Structure 1
């Protein structure tokens, strides 16, 4: 199975789980970890720009990483997946 197929399968399972476990529209909480860099944080914040998202950041104890929590109102599981795909383009990001 190729990496692309694994990614597609992952997002299909996520979509199914979100459809079954959540009433839509809803507030969804994203969590990411990025290398401590104002540029990386800004890239992630830009994905959620103009959406009324509540964004919180916290640096790791050594200051090498930053955790980012984003709470945003979304209409569907597809909107969640779209945001994950946009954020995945940020180099070094880990989605939790």
Structure 2
């Protein structure tokens, strides 16, 4: 998958989401980011006004923060849109 273009990655993700979930559904996003208040704030802002439940957990040494977000999504395209928005935040790793 390393050589896969973002378009191909999201095409495969959309297909998997369509096959494995009934829509609308609660979707769990998981991200890892360096512990930086601005980056964490950016992620929060992407999910503002969505009813998302956001949980933060710092790594043992506090260098990284795990961000878990549970939110009701209406379809696979909405899920992918949020991944793309979060992907613009520098240094975020999507799990």
Q: Would you say same fold, with TM above 0.5?
A: yes
In angstroms, what is the RMSD of aligned CA positions? 1.0
Listed one character per residue, the Cα deviations across residues 5-42 of structure 1 (whole Å, up to 9, x for unaligned) are 61110000000000011000000000000000111110
TM-score w.r.t. structure 1 length? 0.94
CA distance in 2, matches of 1:31, 1:70: 6
CA distance in 2, matches of 1:84, 1:54: 16
**Shift of residue 81, structure 1, vs aligned partner:** 0.2
Once residues 59 and 39 of structure 2 are traced to their aligned partners in structure 1, the CA distance between those partners, rounded to angstroms, is 15
2:76 alignment partner in structure 1: 77
Count of residue pairs brought into register by the alignment? 93
Runs of 4+ aligned residues of structure 1 deviating over 3 Å after TM superposition are none
